[in-house]
Amino acid sequence: MIGWRAPLALAGARWAAKRLGHGHDPEPPPRPAGGDLLGVLPWAAAGVAAGVGAAALSRRRRTGRLTGRVALVVGGSRGLGLQLAREFAAGGASVVVCGRDTDSLDRAVAELTGRGAAAHGVSCDVADPDQVRAMVAEAAARFGRLDFVVNNAGIMRIGPQEALAEEHFRAAMDVMFWAPFHVGRAALDHLRATSGTLVNIISIGGEVAVPHLLPYSCAKAAARALSEGLSAETAGTGVHVTTVVPGLMRTGSHRGVAFTGAPEREYVWFAFLAGLPLLSVGVERAARHIVRAAARGRGHLLITPMARVGTAVHGIAPGLTQAGLGVVGRLLPAAPEQVEERDGVEASRSPAGRLVDAIGTLNERAGDRLNQEPRARRG
């Protein structure tokens, strides 16, 4: 909030200084030494007070801009989803979070209520359409309405396509395409009643297929088409659909990613890139942008400079991006004869993994703040 207060206070002080130069005779009588300064001080103080007061008023308005509204965040028990729930709650909204892991869900709800939010948790496997429909119905019944529904649930498996089975692609589609499909179908009537917003979190991986993330990219590309199609078909009905395309974010999600093929080597490159400040963005900043876009009913939101550049270049010169990604693919670990699989916590136990974690301090800290898999499991 300091970022708002300082400019407003300075504006007030500038107004005070200008005010001093008006309303006086063209040739005022001589003043004693220091008189100008003494004359300015009351006006400057008043200007600063006015600036700070305006900033405080602006803060109260921002804090209450979502008061009385209800947000359902699918995949809201950890990572970006949890931060989105925090941001909605900070704006005054009641929040329903959904997750499959009951321990993470309970911790998330306890934290949100501890912050003073009206929060409710729903345990749900989003790959099950019946559970999805029941979740949306429970969320709407809990607070009497739905104004925002955020599709944020996701799974990620890193590895060369030779090391992946068809079931890995199906699982990705179930969670990141079919789940948003069923959530949207179940939520649209509720959102139509409130002129609400359906928010679909896609990814730069849905715009540009990234090597060794093929199931994820395929599912996100399908979700992007679904989101943009729903936006077109619900135009004029009162429902807004916001398609969010983030680049890399520091969420600590690398702890729960499944690494296949040569897990330790796959972990090193992914965790390193996910934690680089120049390539990734802090999740708090991303969540603020997303909630603001949802509140305004924006149709499309790109987050991080790299996502903007990647999307623009791919749109203008797809052959160039394909060639560049081909180079990247050759640099990544090849599929070994003996395929192994480990989650991020286990894969990080190698010396190289520990070194990357030490370098990516910002990402590790984000994981601690966002209810991700605890480091204690690493042994």
From CA 186, how far away is CA 133, in angstroms rounded? 6
Cα separation values, 234 from 185, 188, 239, 285, 290, Å? 12, 9, 6, 29, 20
Whether 294 and 195 have beta carbons less than 8 Å apart is answered as no
Token reading at 63: 């804090």
Q: Which residues pair with 120 in a beta bridge?
A: 96
Cα separation values, 30 from 25, 33, 34, 42, Å? 12, 9, 11, 20
At 360 the three-state DSSP class reads coil
Interhelix angle for 166-173 vs 214-233, to 10°? 30
Q: What is the DSSP letter of 184?
A: H
Whether 108 and 131 have beta carbons less than 8 Å apart is answered as no
Which distant-in-sequence residues (6+ apart) come within 8 Å of 300 by Cβ?
Answer: 242, 243, 245
Residues with a catalytic annotation lie at 216
Token reading at 156: 């990620």
Whether 229 and 272 have beta carbons less than 8 Å apart is answered as no
